[in-house]
Structure 1
Amino acid sequence: MSDTQEFIPQMRPLFGGEEKAELMAYLDEDGFFTEFKKTEAFERQIAEFTGARHCIVVNNGTVSLTLAAIAVGVGPGDEVIVPDYTMIATPNSVKMLGAQPVFVDVDPDTLILDLAATRAAITPKTRAIMLVSANGRAPACGIAAFEALARETGVALIEDAAQSLGSVYPDGRHIGRAGAIGSFSFSAPKIISTGQGGALITDDDALADRLRRLKDFGRAAGGTDVHDSIGYNFKFTELQACVGLAQMRQLPGRIERKKEIWRRYAEGLAGIPGIQLFAHDLSLCTPWFIDCRAERRDALAAHLKSQGIGTRTMYPPIHQQKAYALPGHHPVAEEIGRSGLWLPSMIQLSDAQIERICQSIRSFYLG
């Protein structure tokens, strides 16, 4: 790495003047900081953007999944089907309830739950399916097939759309709208971020009411200590909402830039043996990270690091991690654990940096 070359991280959030202006204006209001009008405005923007009837924001994207599970009736001893390829927050969110995540392999092209394997995993104890839209992609079999499976079996469909803000299904619905509840994350790597944060969308009035009560001690509204149901404290803050409002204004431009970043990678890596980007239909999908299969992945990552380029290995199969250590064989998830790599994907990545990354990959595989 040349002393004049700046290190390119795999990801870095982007906060700037718009966020600062929102925060400073709010501080001048002498507000209470806990969620109120700014949070309500942020929820409205997400609901309008996704087309959902309701949006409820919470303190992080793991809690959002947990609340979604509670809202559809998941409890101790129930089973919830989750992909073996996902961020560990997906199964952990139901493990926290005393429910049992059941791991199922994923489709090799989309890394989304395999439909046949999902059907085979359903038992009388199955209460929900958590469908993770990996990197904004839709299921290869079509989302309607999972909706039909949920109706047929009476199992609730929850969409873990943490990586999918800005991605839609072929029928025009935003990802997250097909399930009973859809969940998004606003952690640092996501296309918009509030540092931490999560959102739940639903078109079901009763589920929305249940979610709002669950996140706020079980009460119907703030400022009262009368509780008709059990709830918890997973509220948002006005400071996060200020950042979120500024980030939402930037979202259309970020979506277009994410797609352009993928296009430039696809052009720069075309014809290089040993590396294969996962495909995206950019008319529907906004890639969160640039994901690929790479031969000699660890050696490639070391080579790129020596050139001042950061990468991140993709999720290893969860059933093999020490946290779970379960028997089973999920060939696709296991293969991704060996070959999956995320290349630099931050929104502020420049065209020149992408060219430099592709040239470094070319030099590794072609000399």
Structure 2
Amino acid sequence: MTQPFIMQMRPLFGDEEKRAICEYMDEDGFITEFKRTEQFELMIAEYTGARHCIVVNNGTISLTLAALAAGVQAGDEVIVPNYTMIATPNSVKMFGAIPVFVDVEPETLCLDFAKVKQAITSKTRAIMLVSANGRYPSVGIGAFEQLAREHNLVLIEDSAQSLGSFYPDGRHVGRAGVIGSFSFSAPKIISTGQGGALITDNDALAAKLRRLKDFGRSGGGNDIHGTIGYNFKFTELQAVIGIEQMKKLPVRVERKKEIWRRYATNLEGLAEVRLFDHDLKRTTPWFIDALVEQREALIDYLKSANIGTRVMYPPINMQQAYKVPGDHPTSQRIGMHGLWLPSAVQLTDEEIDRICATIREFYKA
């Protein structure tokens, strides 16, 4: 009998989201962002401990607006990891800033602190720190905060994969930078289909972000524009779904950690597969990420057993879109051996056991 297909990742929406959407539509609302959006923002702000939360239409534009609000301009250099989703550099490339690629730590896949220091030039304006899969740099976030102060740089946190992860000092990931950015795209721990959020404790930056996302308006619904702005607003339908998703976040955080532990137990001692470590007391794995031998053959073997996987991000400097010279051994290694195993929050223990047994079968052969 053929086993059902296990997707590498899929969002989880339930009856709660369906009912909430139907109830909203019965209210004859305008659908554009309003009270539900405010409620969703408040829930994120309260969960992360931030003073302000501003939601936008996706998690790439959120990074763009963060950089613009923080004063990054065309021609400025922005240090970004060479291992990340390409949205990170694209977000500043969009308005003419220059992404400078720096390699990541082998253990955390976060920016390598020593290499960041070497990459700073007179043109550097910002560091965009990506908390890869919820992890924080081994040197600690304080080292990056101090470096930014010493060089008068803006520290922006790309925390797209990190809702539900915290630093050892108790701050939610995204709170250390002047602005932190989250994503609600389909694979994330909570999803609104597309969507992004910005958190900050700075009143002036929050006001600037709200103007930037709404045509530069001086106030809601008017046509008075004191500054240049754009249209990156949210919708009430997304917010309605987001509110229900946020209610489920604490349970999902715990389940993600349980999933990682079960993978780790089942794959223990298998030399050909190395899961990246997690500080499960503080951080929440978004995906189950691993270095594997014979990656392409393993992918095919798992696919033949109705198990999906996804290749981890290749080194950005080597992608056709950028083609920037540079030697980045860690991100290059990820490009050759990195693999995301099935990671959906709705994975059952039995499915994880099946996945791990199939992986072990492959390496025995």
**1:296 partner amino acid:** Q
- Report if aligned partners of 1:273, 1:365 keep a CA contact under 8 Å in 2: no
Map 1:214-363 onto structure 2 (within 5 A): 214-363=212-361
Per the alignment, residue 39 of structure 2 pairs with 41
1:365 to partner: Cα distance: 1.2
Q: Given the alignment of the two structures, is residue 103 of structure 1 paired with residue 101 of structure 2, yes or no?
A: yes
Query: Which of residues 181, 185, 188 in structure 1 aligns to 2:186?
Result: 188
Task: Please give the per-residue CA displacement for 1:276-303, whole angstroms capped at 9, x wherever unaligned.
Answer: 0000010011000000000111111111
DSSP-derived class of the 1:82 partner: strand
Q: Distance in 1 between matches of 2:118 and 2:23?
A: 54
Q: Distance in 2 between matches of 1:271 and 1:116?
A: 32
Task: Please give the per-residue CA displacement for 1:115-157, whole angstroms capped at 9, x wherever unaligned.
Answer: 0100111111111100000000011110000000000000000
1:220 to partner: Cα distance: 2.5
Per the alignment, residue 75 of structure 1 pairs with 73
Give aligned pairs, total: 365
Per the alignment, residue 62 of structure 1 pairs with 60
Query: Which of residues 142, 152, 155 in structure 1 aligns to 2:153?
Result: 155
**2:278 partner amino acid:** H
Q: Distance in 2 between matches of 1:87 and 1:261?
A: 23
Query: Which of residues 143, 146, 152 in structure 1 aligns to 2:144?
Result: 146
1:21 to partner: Cα distance: 1.1
Could you list the runs of 5+ residues in structure 1 that have no partner in the other structure?
A: none
Q: Distance in 2 between matches of 1:120 and 1:21?
A: 53
Q: Distance in 2 between matches of 1:26 and 1:128?
A: 41
Q: Given the alignment of the two structures, is residue 14 of structure 1 paired with residue 12 of structure 2, yes or no?
A: yes
Map 1:107-186 onto structure 2 (within 5 A): 107-186=105-184
Q: Given the alignment of the two structures, is residue 85 of structure 1 paired with residue 83 of structure 2, yes or no?
A: yes
**2:277 partner amino acid:** A
1:161 to partner: Cα distance: 0.1
1:221 to partner: Cα distance: 1.7
- Report if aligned partners of 1:51, 1:174 keep a CA contact under 8 Å in 2: yes
Q: Distance in 1 between matches of 2:219 and 2:248?
A: 31
Task: Please give the per-residue CA displacement for 1:201-245, whole angstroms capped at 9, x wherever unaligned.
Answer: 000001000000000000132121011100000000000000000
- State, as a whole percentage, how many aligned pairs show the same letter: 70
**1:250 partner amino acid:** K
**2:323 partner amino acid:** A
**2:243 partner amino acid:** L
Q: Distance in 1 between matches of 2:337 and 2:353?
A: 22
DSSP-derived class of the 2:54 partner: strand
- Report if aligned partners of 1:272, 1:366 keep a CA contact under 8 Å in 2: no
DSSP-derived class of the 1:61 partner: coil
Q: Distance in 2 between matches of 1:59 and 1:221?
A: 19
DSSP-derived class of the 1:130 partner: strand
DSSP-derived class of the 1:223 partner: coil
**2:124 partner amino acid:** T
Q: TM-score, normalised by structure 2?
A: 0.99
- Report if aligned partners of 1:312, 1:341 keep a CA contact under 8 Å in 2: yes
**1:68 partner amino acid:** A
1:272 to partner: Cα distance: 1.1
DSSP-derived class of the 1:7 partner: coil
Q: Distance in 2 between matches of 1:118 and 1:297?
A: 30
- Report if aligned partners of 1:85, 1:315 keep a CA contact under 8 Å in 2: yes
Runs of 4+ in structure 1 off by over 3 angstroms are none
Map 1:20-31 onto structure 2 (within 5 A): 20-31=18-29
Higher alpha-carbon deviation: 17-26 or 194-203: 17-26
Task: Please give the per-residue CA displacement for 1:159-218, whole angstroms capped at 9, x wherever unaligned.
Answer: 000000000000000000000000000000000000000000000001000000000000
1:16 to partner: Cα distance: 1.1
Q: Distance in 2 between matches of 1:130 and 1:22?
A: 36
Q: Distance in 2 between matches of 1:181 and 1:126?
A: 18
1:366 to partner: Cα distance: 2.1
